[in-house]
């Protein structure tokens, strides 16, 4: 009996030591003696939200102790699946009410394979929040309010509590652009101004300025309104309720941030000017190729659009050259990670690095892209066509997961809420046209 226990000890002890060191017997058929004892690896998973079940090759995973000695509870994310034999595995992370995440991943001996930035998106239908036949709506910079113009009614929806305010505007054209002030308290719709802090009054700018004005824009604070009248640029201050001349010469187009950015063509010469808001003096200028240019701010990025050559210049007011980079054929841009820019040229979506001026193609799309947005996880982006809204991950191991989150007869202008938990967009679904929200 003593010899039996000695033999048992001599057999079990080395196996226990090898197991503790991460080795495991691989007795799969056909048996290969050179691989009978293998150093294992590990999977490390995490998801947002947490609590997803973990499957390897279709088998739901349990911890070693639960599998052999405990109850029938299973691993959920965040999870570490230890002592995994080297090889390729079909991984699935699954949570009720969400689209599953699936990918073929490889485990190497003595190494960990990570998938810790997985976002699970809700499997849910979009819900209409307001009927609107027209696509004319805008969301505040803080993503907490939405304004839509429909049948001479300007409707303001609070995206936090769902409350709604309606204001009738007689005689306004439905195609008038809606602009929120940077302080998120005023709405510009054509030549009309609606103040959320004084909802009883609707300001007609044509009457206020005693003339038809055009190219009306906010400054970066929301305290001033710029407009063109008789080929001159003026600034209206809401505190003093007075207008003053804002620049010494007219602009083909302009934008007001920390400075007045003005693009102007004279005698076959086109120039981008940076002009001080204090003394109206030219602080910087940049000569441009002859073309038709427009200035705009899109998703927080200052852009100069060259219509003739299909170029987009990224503007930096603090740069010595005013322009920090240019992107060819860009139609839409969106800020991404580490100062990079997500952009599309209709059928391709790419990532652009302004520092290195390198482009990285992310995907080719068979239909024109009408909206893009970068997800804060830095591992996904959302894009929309006229027929569907999709999310594509950046993890290119095996393949990139592509999900269609919503489909419709017509889709336009998708935007995130402030927490990126909801996506708002105009759509026609069946016979119902309006603004919809989709829980992510």
Residue 337 DSSP SS3: helix
Whether residue 395 contacts residue 115, with contact meaning beta carbons closer than 8 Å, is answered with yes
11 within 8 A of 53, measured Cβ to Cβ: no
In this prediction, residue 174 carries a pLDDT of 65
The pLDDT of residue 227 is 92
What pLDDT does 40 receive?
A: 87
Strand 192-195 with 145-150, pairing = unpaired
DSSP string computed for 93-161:
EE-TTB--EEEEEEE-TT-EEEEEEEEPPB----EEEEE-SS--EEE-TTSSEEEEEETTEEEEEETTT
In tens digits, the chain (440 residues) has pLDDT values of: 555 444 544 545 454 444 544 555 555 555 454 455 578 899 999 999 999 999 999 999 986 555 555 566 789 999 999 989 999 999 999 999 999 999 999 999 989 999 999 999 999 999 999 999 888 899 999 999 999 988 888 899 999 898 998 888 877 776 778 999 999 999 998 888 989 888 877 888 888 888 888 889 999 999 999 999 888 999 999 999 999 999 989 899 999 999 999 999 988 789 999 999 999 999 999 999 988 999 999 888 999 999 888 899 999 998 888 988 999 989 999 999 989 999 999 899 999 999 899 999 999 999 999 999 999 899 999 999 999 999 999 999 998 999 999 999 999 989 988 888 899 999 999 999 999 999 99
Helix (H) or strand (E) holding 13: helix 2-20
Domain ranges of the chain: 15-119
Cα separation, 199 vs 8, in Å, equals 87
Q: Are 382 and 394 in contact (CB under 8 A)?
A: no
Task: Write out the DSSP string of 69-101.
Answer: TS-S---BSSEEEEEEPSEEEEEEEE-TTB--E
Q: What's the pLDDT score for residue 140? A: 93
pLDDT confidence of residue 16: 46
What is the residue-wise DSSP string for 171-205? T--TTPPEEE-TTSSEEEETTEEEETTSTT-EEEH
Cα separation, 178 vs 176, in Å, equals: 6
Q: pLDDT value at position 70?
A: 56
Contact 110, 41 (CB under 8 A): yes
- Cα Rg of the chain (Å, integer): 29
**CA torsion angle 419 421 426 431 (round to 10):** -150
At 406, list the tokens.
Answer: 């919503």
CATH 2.60.40 fits 15-119, yes or no: yes
């Amino acid at each position: 009996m003593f010899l039996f226990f000695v033999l048992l000890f001599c057999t079990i002890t080395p196996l226990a030591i090898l197991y503790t060191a991460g080795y495991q017997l691989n007795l799969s058929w056909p048996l290969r003696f050179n691989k009978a004892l293998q150093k294992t690896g590990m999977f490390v998973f995490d998801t947002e939200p947490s609590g997803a079940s973990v499957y390897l090759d279709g088998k739901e995973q349990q911890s070693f102790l639960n599998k052999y000695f405990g109850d029938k509870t299973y691993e959920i994310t965040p999870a570490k699946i230890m002592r995994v034999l080297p090889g390729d595995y079909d991984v699935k992370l699954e949570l009720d009410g969400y689209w599953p995440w699936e990918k073929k991943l490889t485990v190497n001996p003595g190494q960990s394979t990570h998938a810790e930035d997985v976002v699970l998106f809700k499997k849910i239908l979009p819900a209409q929040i307001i009927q609107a036949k027209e696509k004319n709506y805008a969301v505040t910079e803080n993503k907490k309010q939405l304004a839509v113009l429909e049948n001479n009614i300007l409707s303001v929806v609070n995206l936090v509590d769902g409350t709604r305010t309606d204001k009738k505007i007689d005689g306004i054209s439905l195609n008038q652009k809606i602009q929120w002030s940077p302080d998120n308290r005023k709405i510009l719709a054509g030549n009309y101004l609606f103040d959320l802090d004084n909802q009883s009054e609707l300001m007609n700018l044509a009457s206020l300025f005693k003339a038809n004005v055009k190219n009306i824009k906010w400054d970066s604070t929301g305290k001033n309104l710029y407009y063109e009248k008789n080929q001159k640029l003026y600034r209206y201050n809401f505190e003093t309720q007075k207008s003053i001349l804002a620049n010494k010469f007219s602009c083909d187009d302009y934008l007001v941030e920390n400075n007045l950015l003005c693009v102007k063509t004279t005698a076959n010469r086109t120039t981008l000017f940076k002009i001080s808001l204090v003394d109206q003096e030219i602080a910087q200028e940049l000569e441009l190729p002859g073309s038709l240019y427009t200035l705009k701010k899109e998703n927080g990025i200052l852009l100069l659009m060259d219509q003739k050559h299909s170029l987009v210049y990224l503007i930096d007011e603090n740069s010595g050259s005013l322009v920090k980079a240019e992107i060819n054929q860009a139609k839409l841009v969106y800020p991404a990670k580490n100062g990079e820019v997500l952009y599309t040229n209709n059928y391709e979506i790419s990532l652009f690095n302004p520092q290195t001026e390198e482009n990285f193609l992310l995907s080719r799309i068979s239909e024109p892209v009408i909206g893009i947005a970068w997800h804060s996880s830095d591992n996904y982006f959302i894009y929309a066509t006229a027929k569907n809204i999709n999310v594509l991950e950046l993890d290119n191991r095996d393949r990139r997961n592509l999900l269609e989150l919503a489909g419709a007869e017509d889709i336009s202008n998708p935007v995130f809420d402030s927490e990126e938990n909801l996506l708002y967009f105009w759509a026609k679904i069946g016979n119902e046209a309006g603004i919809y929200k989709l829980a992510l």
